[in-house]
Amino acid sequence: MIDKIAKHFNFQQQALGLRSYRNEVLASNIANSETPYYKSVDFDFNKTLAQAELLQKKESMSMEKTHQSHLQGKVRAVSLAELQYRREVQPSIDGNTVDMDLERTQFTDNSMRYQTTLTFLNRRISGLSDAIKGQ
């Protein structure tokens, strides 16, 4: 029973993990905005989430246990994120490619989507809790 409930929330769990990782990447870009020759990076959230969902359905990437003391290995969505360099919007003298306006916008958008996913999850959990209680 618990496994069915856990599978029901797996998509949101993967999305939250990827959103959190993307916030880290964007925050790193912002933090390095004054670092000479720093190249801004990001990843395609939708593509990575689709890959993670596909792998979850196939479960073709599960690791084989060759010894009883081995832990069960699982592929995390964050490990699928391929960081790519962003295109330079405006060249800078020091070679830094961070565009602060773009980074702030992306960070804010990603944070709002993270919060929206959390709200959605909280409401779904409340609904299940009410159903279990019979309310």
Structural domain harbouring 111: 2-133
SS3 8: helix
Helices (H), ranges, the chain: 2-8, 10-31, 45-58, 100-133
Instruction: Determine what percent of the chain is predicted with pLDDT higher than 90.
Output: 48
pLDDT of residue 80: 80
pLDDT tier for residue 44 given thresholds of 50, 70 and 90:
very high
97 CB-near residues (< 8 Å, 6+ apart): 38, 39, 40, 85, 86, 88, 89
Using pLDDT thresholds of 50, 70 and 90, give the confidence band for residue 66.
Answer: confident
Is residue 74 scored above 70 in pLDDT? Answer: no
Count of domains observed in the chain: 1
CB atoms within 10 A of CB 110: 21
Q: What is the DSSP letter of 79?
A: G
Average pLDDT in the chain: 86
When pLDDT is cut at 50, 70 and 90, the band that residue 43 belongs to is: very high
Q: State the Cα–Cα distance between residues 74 and 58, nearest whole angstrom.
A: 12
